[in-house]
Every structure is written in structure tokens, then in C-alpha cells.
Amino acid sequence: MNPFSSGTRLRDMIRAIRACKTAAEERGVVRKECAAIRAAINENDNDYRHRNLAKLMFIHMLGYPTHFGQMECLKLIASSEFPEKRIGYLGLMLLLDERQEVLMLVTNSLKQDLNHSNQYIVGLALCALGNICSAEMARDLAPEVERLLQFRDPNTRKKAALCAIRIIRKVPDLAENFINPAAALLKEKHHGVLITGVQLCTDLCKASADALEYFREKCTEGLVKTLKDVANSPYAPEYDIAGITDPFLHIRLLKLLRVLGQGDADASDLMNDILAQVATKTESNKNAGNAILYECVETIMSIEDNGGLRVLAINILGRFLSNRDNNIRYVALNMLMKAITVDAQAVQRHRATILECVKDSDASIRKRALELVYLLINESNVKPLTKELIDYLEVSDQEFKGDLTAKICSLIAKFSPEKIWYIDQMLKVLSEAGNFVKDEVWHALIVVISNASDLHGYTVRALYRALQTSVEQESLVRVAVWCIGEYGDMLIKNVGMLDIEDPITVTESDAVDIIELAIKRHTSDLTTKAMSLIALLKLSSRFPSCSERIQDIIVQNRGNLVLELQQRSIEFNSIIQKHQNIRSALVERMPVLDEATFIGRRAGSMPATVSTSSGASLNLPNGVAKPSAAPLVDLLDLSLDDAPAPSSSGGDFLQDLLGVDLSPASNQSGTNQASKTGTDVLLDLLSIETPPVQSSSSPPDVLSSIQDNKSPVASLEELALPSSLSGQATTPVGAAPMMDLLDGFVSNPPKPENNGSVYPSVVAFESAALRITFDFSKPPGNPQTTSIQATFTNLSPNVYTDFIFQAAVPKFLQLHLDPASSNTLPAIGNGSITQNLRVTNSQHGKKSLVMRIRIAYKINDKDVLEEGQISNFPRGL
Amino acid sequence: MIRFILLQNRQGKTRLAKYYVPLEDSEKHKVEYEVHRLVVNRDPKFTNFVEFRTHKVIYRRYAGLFFSLCVDITDNELAYLECIHLFVEILDHFFSNVCELDLVFNFHKVYLILDEFILAGELQETSKKAIIERMGELEKLE
């Protein structure tokens, strides 16, 4: 009985589903049907099995789960009737695919059907095999398919040929078995068999070098003749499309010839004539003809060189390119990309047309054209082409701007003939599409600007102008803010004026206005605002007259909800307020950023160049900030995790230099700013209440004290950039307590309870002159907290005065220091100072305590500073 | 090679979906949704080709129906465009003036026609007449 012939229920079900007005209603109908089908499956209902499966296929197409019907397919396939088998195979192809294990069960049925006496049933089996064959089935059934390639019925032969394709795609090893029967198919007259045979040979050539060699030798001539016959055949209504006989066969033949001709001059020679004929004689006013021409051009480009043919091919592409049909232009662009390696000059001739295609309204064409233009650009034409692209950037679609911007930036970087051009073009891109510019691109721009010392003034003025009109482009704002911060004075005084520039008058407050705007604009993101704060700090020193106003702006951000901004404002404010004398040194212009390092880092060699505290990296002008800062930073940086390794050692040093590294340790931004003015300044900035007279200590003392931190002295000396600074900066800072930078970190806790030590005492620190012992105790009920009593003993014959002990811990610890029992430590044996510390370990049980300490005191009014790290705390504190 | 063939109406309802590469059901639905989104709003003047993931979709619109073929990036786009048209002509001939409803109620026949036209992701027969005749023979066996 036929499930589809009359008013059966499949039609009714489809009607019922179509009548549903809402999705919920539809789900209801489907649920009911599925329930009925499941019931029928459980009852093993034979009469309606194929109808039910047909329904399931429809339900499956609507997107509902139908896995429960899979076994029904197998049962139907096993049936002896053609209609049932037909539905079974259809269901098999729709509901299952090669990955399901159920498929294993069908192999046997397939084998039987492939050997069936009814050629229609053989056809069904071949069709299923061709569409869902797995590697395993391919191995099992390859002999059947091989045999069927010689079957008398052409319908079976063509299906078997396509099955063979699937089989060798799954198991390339089986290719050998098919070489001979496939070659036989090439002699066929039946188009269906011929086209599938040609396709099979093409796939065999890809799968096996033997096959390629065999076909090249035995079949090239025959194929050329076949193509000639097809191309010259009289009107054949059965295969005619737009006046051409079987364009599909043309295309398949051209493709196989391409495979055979590639890399073989003899085979290529054989096909020259027919290719020339197809290229010249094919009608190009219809799609079918163009499809053939397109394939022919590709074959000409791929086979061994024949100058005449290539000219012909390029001319066809030129015609395509000026075609009004978008499809044809698209394929022309596509093919020109391949042609560029063959004949770049010829492609260059079409540059203007290609450039027009970049501006097409169709995204597919634009994308192709842009890629092609990208390949076309070289040193000689980069200027005009870039100009065109940038001009187009203005009017292009939003969704295309990302691609376009990336390509333009890459072109500018790759081919820029001189720095001023690079900067000009980048500024244009930033003004037009700054929001699409990737971070590394504007970072690179800053590196270039920094290196172009004669263009600093020009650049900062150009940026200032650009910012007047394009304030909404985030990355433009960032670059501008950075440059104004660095080169603000050049902006005001028109330093380094170039001939091409118009003079502009910018007052100091204009420059501050611009930055204020950037920081207050609510769309500015964190990075921009943070960079603006740094720029303000720098300007506060460059423009003394605006200093107060700048301080106001900074103060406004002290209450910012974003921690990073809040912290920067508080720190910067205190620099402006309390440390006038070091400020100018702190905010010195950045050292020139090293291009080679930056490029190298971008190329992936980053870890080598920035590996912290390795001597080599310290020589890099860029590397300066980070490595030198690192040991000092973690002395105080409570946000760092484990003391010795600075957390951002592998980080983006450029970002660090720019002060935009907001991720791991927020404290660092401030310290990085400072670091570039020299280590000694940094030391002082970071020192907690350095004793007043420390200034009298000579630089070597300072440096040697850092030795504990594993930084080689030599490299640190190199680091002290402006060596003149060392004395000048140290003196005033010594007098200025820096406690305020760390406000809130140190407080006066209540008297610690001392429950006696359950842990062994340790000698925490011992030098020739001083010993510190720690006694530990734990307050009951709070395992995270440890009370430490530090006892300081003087081992020298001199009295220490102004004795100060300082300590810092990583951020998983909290430290409270009580006042010391005295600030005078009597000479040997005559007594000691004690001081109580309380440490709370938030990672109790996972990490043990670690601490950095610094002890400052005076011997006969001479400053001594000692530092060290304590990591020998008893376990479990 | 053809990866899959989709026949969808303007609302995105799938009328035929044939996959020549194995995909999970959920992935199939996603693909159908994405392809529909890609083709449905394109201007008729635009190319009939859109890049889709690492492949490209060749589509053609007939009244409210979109025929989309997903093919390899190196395949001949124009040829597949012609291929879609041939398929539509076959359907038109078979159903004599085909409309969407024919395809809905006779979806299984559409699959059978397709299986005579394309197999294993490759073109099997280029003669409309041969396919119609073959369908006639198969119908007689029902």
C-alpha cells in the first residue's frame, strides 16, 4: 500500500501542522503525532511503518527530535518491497549520519541490495551509500561498488562512480582499485556517466599520485578530444543550457585537465589548442558561458606556462571585471587573486577598477576587492592607493570599517616610505575609524612617534587639531592624550614647526581642556581616563600656571568608583601637593621606545626581551621601567602575590610604560611612571618614611641595599638614567615622608595579646651588625592571624639611633605594625628593642608567610639602611 | 563538493535540507538559521555568493524560496548557480509549475529528485529529461 497516494494521514498531519497559528499549538500537534508513532513502533505495526517514518521525516525537518525512529529505517530497508525500502533509505539518509553506530547494522542490508537483481533497488542502495557511507562501510562495500562501475545500466554506473568518490574520500587507500574502471568511464558517451567518471578521476588524482600519473599518460588526449567534441557538438536539446551543450560537463572536463596539466609540460601542451578554442569561442552573454570561461581561465593559469594563453585569460578577466553583473565581477576578483602570482603587471593594469570594487555596495565584492588591493599594493603605489582607501573609509559601511581599517593599518605599517607619512596616515585613520583600530596598532603608532624626535611637535599639533573634530574616536583620543602629556610644551610653543604646517595658537589651558574633556566624557573607557590622569600629572609640571586647575581635576577623581582611577588620582594628587620638588623628575619625558623590541615582541619574542631582572634585558631602553621597578615594587606592592617574582614580568611592557596596564597590579601604574626617572627616585618614592638623613648616604649604599633583591648592581647603575638626578632627587625626598602614598595600609592596632609561642622562634634576619628574632603566637580561635614579637639586637659596639623597622607583605597577607618599644638600640649586649607585628594570612594553610623588611638607623649620625626578605617562617602560620 | 543544500522560505522555514557532511542536529539547526539570516536580506542586485564560515554559500531566490548550496571555497560559483537553476527547472517540470506547497506536501519526492540529481555532494545527471524519465519509472514502482 502506498503511504502517499490518497488521503492518508501524512497529508493530514502536514495540514494540521500548517493550520497551527502559534508555535505552542504546533508543538502540541507534533507531540501527539510523535506519541502515536512511538506507540505504533512499540506494537511493531508493519502496515503503517513506512507512513509513520514519512511523518517522522517531516517532523525532523521542522526541527523536532526523532531519534526513536532510527530503528524503523533499518526495518524498512530490510523489507522486500520497493516502496518500503525507498522510504527506509530516505529515512536513513535524513535521520542518521555516518557517525551513528546503528549504521553498522545496515551494512549487511546494503550489501544485499547492492547485489539485488532489481536495478532500482541497487540504485537506492548506491544512493544511500554515496550519501552516508562511513570509512568502515567503505572498506566493506568497495568491491560491490567496483563491480557496479561496469554494470550495464548507465544509471547504476553513474551512481556507482559517485559512490566510489565518497569511498576514496573516506579511505584514500582504496583509490588503486578504482583506477582502471574509472579510466573506462572516460570513454562513455552517456553524459551522466561521463560527468561522474570525470569527477571520479579528478578525485582519484587527488588521492593517489599513481592515479594522477596513469590518467596523465593514458587519458589526457582522450579527454582533450572529449572536450573538443562537447564544445563543438551541434544543438542537443537534452543538454542545452543557454545555447551551450552541457556546460557542467565542460567545467568538469576543464577541471580534470587542469589537474593533469599542472606541473607537466607535455600534458599542458596537449590541451593548449582546446583551451584556446574554449576561451575564444564560448559565448559570454549568459551565466553558463561565463561559468565555462571562468573555469577555463583557472585552468590556463594553473597549467604550465603558455604566454599566449595567459594573455587571453587575463583579457577575459578584464572583461569580467567590467561586467555589469555582480556575480561576474566577483569571480573576476577571485581569479585575479590567483593571477597575481602569475602576472602581477597584468593585474596592476586593472587597479583602478579593482579599487572601485572596494567601494561596491555588496559586501561579498568589497571583501574580495579589498583582499586583492591589499596584494596589489607595493612601495611604488602605496601613497595613492592608501589615500583612496582612507578617503573611502569616511563613507564606508559600519560593518566594513573593521576589515578596512585593519587592512589600511597593516598597509601603512608595511610600506610606509617615511615616518611623517606614516604618522599622517595613521592620524587620518584614527580620526575616521579610531574605534575600529586594534590596540597593538595604536601602541605601534606611539612607538613610532616616540622615535621620530623631529616630529614630536608636529605630531602633537596635528593630534590636537584632529581631536577638535573627532573626539568620539577612542584610540585617537588615547594617542592624543599620551602625546599631549609627553609633548604638551611643544604644542604650546610651536616647537619644531614644519614648513607644511599652519601655525596654531594653543594656550596651556586649551591643552588641559582637551584632556579634561577626555577624562569627563562619559563614553571614555577606563584606559583613556587612566591615560588622561597621567597626562594631567605630566602637564602639571610642564604648565606650572595650570597646576592648580589640574590638581582640581585630579582631586575630582579621588572618589571615583573605579579603583584604578581612584588610586591614580590619590597618588598623583599627593605627588602634586607634597612632592613639588621631585615632580619634575618624576614626569620627565618618556625615554624613546625601542622599535626593534616592540616589533620583536609583537612577533612573539616577547618573553626573551622582557624577562625581568636578567642583565641583558636591562640594557634595553624600554626594559628599564619594568625590571628596575620590580624588586622595589614588590617590597611595597601589596597587590603582588609572591614577593620575589613581579607578577607582570611577562606582561606587555609597552603598556606598562604607557601606564595603561590595568590588569594585574594596580599599584604599578604609579610606580612605573616614576621608575623611568631613575631608580633612586623610585626608591625614595617607595620608601616608607625614609629617615630624614638618608640623603647623605651615597648612591652605592642605596644600590647595595638592593642586592638582596637579586638585582645585579651593575645593571641598576645602568638604569639610573639621568645620572645627575640621583643626588638631586634623593635629598628632598629623604625629608618628605611618603607615608601618605600608602595611607591606610599601616595603622595602629590595639595591643596584641600574647599567648606565648607555640611555634619555634626564628632568627629572621642577621647581618654583621644586627639580628632580628621573631617569636610567634596565635590568638585562640583565629588560625589566620599570627602575632609576631620582633626582637632587635645590636651586634656592633655602636649605639643605633633613630632605629626604624619596616615590613611589607604580599597581598594575600595583611600586616599591622605596633610602635616599637624604643627607637634607640643600645650597643652590644646592653638591651634590645621589641616590636609587635600582627599578620593575617588570607590563604592560611595554602601559602606560608613571607615578608620583606627594611631597617634604617644611624650610627654616629650616619645613615645605615638594611634590607632583606624573610621566608623562613615556620610552616602553618 | 557540495556540503549541504537548503531550501528555505523567506520566514526561514526549512523545506528541504540535505547534508553531505555529517553534522549534529543542533549544528544543522544553527547552520539553517545562519544561512537564512545571511541570504534573506541581500539586495537582488548583489552577488549570489556569500562567504559562510570556511565555505561559501551560493544561493538563488525563486519567488519566496531560497535555494542555497554550501560549497568549497575553490569551487566554481557560476557553475553551481547554474546547477540551482537546473534543479528548479526539474522541479518545475515535475510538479508542472511548482509552488512552495507542492514542496511541502511532497517533500519526500523532492528528496528523491535531488537524489537523482546530486549524489555524494557531486552532480550526477545534467539532463532534465533523464531525471524526469527516471522519476516516472520510480513512480510506477510505488
* Secondary structure (DSSP) of A184-203: HHTT--SHHHHHHHHHHHHH
Q: Measured between beta carbons, which residues in chain A are less than 8 angstroms from residue B48?
A: 327
- Residues of chain A with pLDDT > 90, as a percent, come to 31
Of A61, A291, A326, the CB nearest to B76: A291
Tell me, yes or no, if B44 comes closer than 8 A to chain A by beta carbon.
no
Contact B47 A65 (CB under 8 A): no
Residues of chain A neighbouring B105 (CB-CB closer than 8 A) = 11, 14
- How far is Cα B31 from Cα B23, in angstroms, rounded to an integer? 10
Identify the H or E element spanning A864. strand A862-870
Q: Which residues of A touch B14 (CB under 8 A)?
A: 61-63
Q: Is the pLDDT of residue A644 over 50?
A: no
Q: Which amino acid is at B12?
A: G
Q: A735-746: per-residue pLDDT in tens?
A: 344 444 444 444
Cβ pair A317, A336 in contact under 8 A: yes
CATH topology of domain B2-141: Beta-Lactamase (3.30.450)
**pLDDT category, B59, cuts 50, 70, 90?**
very high
**Each residue of A270-305: pLDDT tens digit?**
999 999 999 999 988 899 999 999 999 999 999 987
Mean pLDDT check: name the lowest of A247-251, A657-661, A716-720: A716-720
d(C-alpha A223, C-alpha A22), whole Å: 58
The alpha helices in A171-305, defined as continuous H runs, are 175-185, 191-207, 209-232, 247-261, 265-281, 287-302
Instruction: Give the gyration radius of chain B's Cα atoms.
Output: 15
Q: Nearest 5°: CA angle at A26, between A23 and A29?
A: 155
Report pLDDT for A601. Answer: 63
B69: left (phi over 0), alpha (psi -120 to 50) or beta: beta
pLDDT of residue A610: 34
Confidence band of A202 (pLDDT split at 50, 70, 90): very high
**How far, in Å, CA of A293 to CA of A284, rounded?**
8
Q: Read out DSSP for A397-439?
A: -HHHHHHHHHHHHHHHHHH-SSHHHHHHHHHHHHHHHGGGS-H
- How far CA A179 is from CA of A117, A215, A217, in Å, comes to 26, 8, 13
Instruction: Give the one of A98, A192, A327 whose C-beta lies nearest to B48's C-beta.
Output: A327
Q: Cβ neighbours of residue A253 under 8 Å, at least 6 residues apart?
A: A198, A223, A226, A227, A230
Distance, in Å, from the CA atom of A98 to the CA atom of A92, rounded to the nearest integer, reads 10
Amino acid A809: pLDDT = 85
Q: Which one of B111, B113, B119, B142 would you mutate to disrupt binding with A, by most A Cβ within 10 Å of its Cβ?
A: B119
**Chain A residue numbers touching B78 (CB-CB < 8 A):** 287-288, 290-291, 294, 327-328, 331
Q: Is B141 on the interface with A (CB under 8 A)?
A: yes
Q: What is the mean pLDDT of residues A708-718?
A: 41
Instruction: Give the phi and the psi of residue A852 in degrees, each rounded to 5.
Output: -110, 140
CB contact under 8 A, B45 and A287: no
Count CA within 13 A, CB hemisphere, residue B71: 23
Contact A82 B22 (CB under 8 A): no
A549-591: pLDDT as tens digits: 888 888 888 888 888 899 999 998 888 888 888 888 888 888 8
B140 interfacial to chain A (CB closer than 8 Å) = no
- Cβ contact A215:A224 at 8 Å: no
Q: How far apart are CA B86 and CA B67, in angstroms?
A: 12
Answer yes or no: are the C-beta atoms of A629 and A671 closer than 8 Å. yes
Q: Say which of A61, A86, A365 has its CB closest to residue B17.
A: A61
How does strand A851-859 pair with strand B49-52?
Answer: unpaired
pLDDT value for A758 = 64
Using CB atoms within 10 A of its CB, is residue A320 exposed (0-12), middle (13-18) or buried (19+)? buried
Mean of the per-residue pLDDT values for chain A? Answer: 79
- Inter-chain CB proximity B124 and A196 less than 8 Å: yes
Say what the pLDDT of residue A829 is: 67
Contact list, B83 vs chain A (CB under 8 Å): 248
For A436, other C-beta atoms within 10 Å of its C-beta total 23
- Best A20, A70, A117, A159 member to test B by mutation, with max B CBs in 10 Å, is A159
Amino acid at A242: A
Distances (CA, A) of B125 to A130, A198, A402, A816: 15, 13, 44, 86
Restricting to B residues 22-41, those with a Cβ less than 8 Å away from any Cβ of A are: 22-23, 25, 29
DSSP run (H or E) holding A867: strand A862-870
Complex-level ipTM: 0.96
Q: In chain B, positions 56-75, which contact chain A (CB-CB < 8 Å)?
A: none
CA A848, CA A642: separation in Å to the nearest integer? 10
- pLDDT (tens digit per residue) in A751-780: 444 444 467 788 888 877 888 888 888 877
With CA atoms as reference, report the closest residue to A462 among A422, A435, A433: A422
Of A295, A327, A334, the CB nearest to B81: A327
Name beta bridge partners: A863.
Answer: A858
Number of cross-chain residue pairs from A and B with Cβ atoms under 8 Å apart: 158
A691 pLDDT band (50/70/90 cuts)? very low
- Number of helices and strands (H, E) in chain A? 41, 10
3 state SS of B17: strand
Closest Cβ–Cβ partner in B111, B124, B134 for A162: B124
Closest residue of chain B to A242, computed from CA coordinates = B82
Give chain B positions within 8 Å (CB) of A198.
Answer: none
Q: What is the pLDDT of residues B79-106, one digit of tens each?
A: 999 999 999 999 999 999 999 999 999 9
Instruction: Check CB contact of B89 with chain A, cutoff 8 Å.
Output: no
Q: Which residues contact A269 (CB under 8 A, 6 or more apart)?
A: A304
Q: What secondary structure does DSSP assign to B58-84, as a single string?
A: EEEEETTEEEEEEE-TTS-HHHHHHHH
**Confidence (pTM):** 0.68
Residues 100-139 of chain B with CB under 8 A from chain A are: 104-108, 111-112, 115, 119-120, 122-130, 134, 137-138
DSSP string, A643-706: SSS-TTTTS-HHHHHHT---SS-THHHHHHHHHTT-HHHHHHHH-SS--GGGGGS-HHHHHHHH
What is the 8-class DSSP label of residue A160? Answer: H
CA-based nearest distance B56→chain A, Å? 10
Residue of B nearest to A51 (CA): B108
* CA dihedral (A305, A308, A313, A314) positive or negative: positive
Residue A515 has pLDDT above 80, yes or no: yes
Rg of chain A's alpha carbons, rounded to an integer? Answer: 40
Q: What is the CATH number of domain A762-870?
A: 2.60.40.1230
Distance CA(A271)–CA(A28), nearest Å, equals 63
DSSP code of A174?
G
CATH number of A103-207, picked from 3.40.50.300, 3.40.190.10, 1.25.10.10, 3.40.50.10420:
1.25.10.10
Q: How far is CA A202 from CA A160, A324, A376, A553, in A?
A: 15, 33, 32, 72
**Using 50, 70 and 90 to split pLDDT, how confident is the model at A632?**
very low
Residue of A133, A134, A364, A366 to mutate when probing chain B, most B C-beta within 10 A: A364
Cβ contact (<8 Å) for A90 and B112?
A: yes
pLDDT at A769: 80
- Say if CB A254 and CB A227 are below 8 A apart: yes
Structure confidence at residue A328 (pLDDT): 94
pLDDT tier for residue A717 given thresholds of 50, 70 and 90: very low
- Residue A800 C-alpha cell reads as 643605633
* Probe site for chain B from A156, A259, A287, A367 (most B CB atoms < 10 A): A287
| Cβ(B131)–Cβ(B117) below 8 Å | yes
Interior angle at CA A758, CA A752 and CA A764, nearest 5: 75
**Short-list A453, A426, A454, CA closest to A440:** A426
- Say whether B17 and A4 touch across the interface (CB within 8 A): no
Q: How many CB atoms lie within 10 A of CB A742?
A: 16
Q: Cβ–Cβ contacts within 10 Å for residue A414, how many?
A: 12
